[in-house]
């Protein structure tokens, strides 16, 4: 076990991390996922100290390149980089409707010339972050690409679950709502699957992605059946912006059948925790009383987010002696 309370100014001993980029959970081996969660554990301790800093990224430049608006994820990466001593620059880019491909590659070349050490990228197109990683000379972290992946979200979710339940082994995690459009669901299914955690997805038929039966998860269209015996209830936002046309007949009907309220939460285990990646549509997928209630760990997820992103940056950018 790694040391949990390393003194300030020193990160614990971990073997070198073999990956240069973090594009997708699918690229990580089981031991690499556990390594990142263990590193994040140390970062929680550091973030709870009065002096919340480590010098591991001092002298390095991190550029947050967000082609899609984001408050939570961008500030989380910004705080993570700053706590590790990096120079952090935020760039929000509005994609031109004309030639998105060209814009992306041009932007990559421009930023690359500024010699950053890491680019943290969010883009509305699946695959855009990987493409960009092939055009630059630095590490690239995927902060969400279309409906493809959001790896740091899955890592922070796993860390939150592990800390609340003590372990991930033997748990049943139910992911509910707009699975079809969710990069969060996809990354979580991959991560939990790699750690042999039992997963279920619960959604109306039209919000389940094609081919879901082929993934190692149980599929439900009914909340009562799907939540029965669940240790973790993970709610997802209805992704209006990614839906082509109308997703649901009415918000009221969606809430009635799929919104998490007291009555539906009662189907899960009595000690089940409630999660949501944010931003929440209160009264659409979740009752505000549940979101703010004692079973909710939603603000813990935000805290774990900073720790996980510190861990990822620390792992991808090891301190090297410039000879
Ligand atoms: C998620 C995202 O952007 O994929 N949110 C986030 O990272 N804070 C989930 C969502 O948008 O619903």
pLDDT along the chain (323 residues), means of 10: 43 86 98 98 96 95 93 96 97 64 83 96 95 96 97 98 98 97 96 98 94 90 98 93 70 94 98 97 96 98 98 89 47
Cα(first)–Cα(last) distance of the chain, in Å? 32
Paired residues of 247 in beta bridges: none
Ligand 1 centroid to Cα of residue 135, in Å, is 26
> Which residue is closest in CA terms to ligand 1's atom 7?
73
Matching fold, domains 21-149+304-316 and 151-299:
yes
Q: Is 21 annotated as a binding residue?
A: no
Which CATH architecture does the domain made up of 151-299 adopt? 3-Layer(aba) Sandwich (3.40)
Which CATH architecture does the domain made up of 21-149+304-316 adopt? 3-Layer(aba) Sandwich (3.40)
**Contact assessment for residue 22 and residue 156, using Cβ atoms and an 8 Å cutoff:** no
The ligand 1 atom at the shortest distance from the C-alpha of residue 122 is 3
**Is 237 a pocket residue for ligand 1 (Cβ < 6 Å)?**
yes
The CA-CA-CA angle for residues 242, 246, 247, to 5°, reads 70
CA pair distance 127, 147, nearest whole angstrom:
10
pTM: 0.94
Query: What pLDDT score was predicted for residue 240?
Result: 73
Ligand 1 centroid to Cα of residue 15, in Å, is 31
DSSP 242: G
Q: How many other C-beta atoms lie within 10 A of the C-beta of residue 84?
A: 25
Tokens of 307: 């720790």
- In the chain the beta strands, taken as DSSP E runs, fall at 61-66, 87-92, 118-123, 139-145, 172-176, 198-202, 218-220, 232-235, 273-275
Query: What pLDDT score was predicted for residue 239?
Result: 83
Query: What pLDDT score was predicted for residue 249?
Result: 79
Taking alpha carbons only, the member of 321, 306, 307, 224 closest to residue 266 is 224
Is 186 exposed, middle or buried, given 0-12, 13-18 or 19+ CB atoms closer than 10 A? Answer: buried
Ligand 1 centroid to Cα of residue 46, in Å, is 26
Residue spans of the domains in the chain: they are: 21-149+304-316, 151-299
CA pair distance 323, 57, nearest whole angstrom:
17
């Amino acid at each position: 076990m790694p040391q949990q309370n390393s003194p300030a100014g020193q990160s614990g001993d971990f073997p070198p991390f073999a990956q240069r980029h973090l594009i997708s959970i699918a690229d990580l081996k089981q031991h690499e996922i556990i390594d990142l969660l263990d590193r994040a554990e140390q970062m929680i301790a550091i973030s709870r100290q009065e002096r919340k800093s480590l010098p591991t990224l001092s002298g390095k430049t991190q550029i947050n390149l967000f082609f899609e608006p984001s408050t939570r994820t961008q500030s989380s990466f910004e705080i993570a980089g700053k706590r590790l001593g990096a120079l952090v620059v935020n760039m929000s880019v509005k994609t031109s409707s004309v030639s998105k491909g060209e814009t992306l590659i041009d932007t990559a070349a421009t930023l690359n010339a500024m010699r950053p050490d890491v680019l943290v990228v969010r883009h509305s197109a699946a695959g855009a972050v990987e493409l960009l990683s092939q055009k630059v000379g630095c590490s690239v972290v995927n902060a969400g690409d279309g409906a493809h992946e959001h790896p740091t979200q899955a890592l922070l979710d796993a860390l939150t679950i592990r800390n609340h339940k003590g372990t991930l082994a033997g748990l049943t995690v139910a992911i509910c709502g707009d699975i079809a459009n969710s990069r969060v669901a996809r990354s979580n299914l991959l991560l939990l699957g790699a750690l042999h955690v039992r997963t279920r997805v619960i959604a109306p038929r039209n919000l389940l992605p094609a081919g879901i039966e082929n993934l190692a998860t149980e599929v439900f269209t009914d909340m009562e059946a799907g939540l029965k015996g669940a240790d973790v209830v993970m709610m997802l936002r209805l992704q209006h912006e990614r839906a082509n046309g109308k997703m649901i007949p009415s918000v009221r009907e969606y809430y009635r059948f799929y919104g998490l309220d007291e009555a539906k939460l009662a189907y899960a285990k009595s000690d089940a925790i409630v999660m949501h990646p944010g931003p929440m549509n209160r009264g659409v997928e979740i009752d505000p009383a549940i979101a703010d209630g004692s079973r909710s760990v939603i603000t813990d997820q935000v805290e774990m987010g900073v720790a996980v992103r510190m861990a990822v940056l620390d792992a991808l950018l090891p301190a090297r002696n410039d000879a």
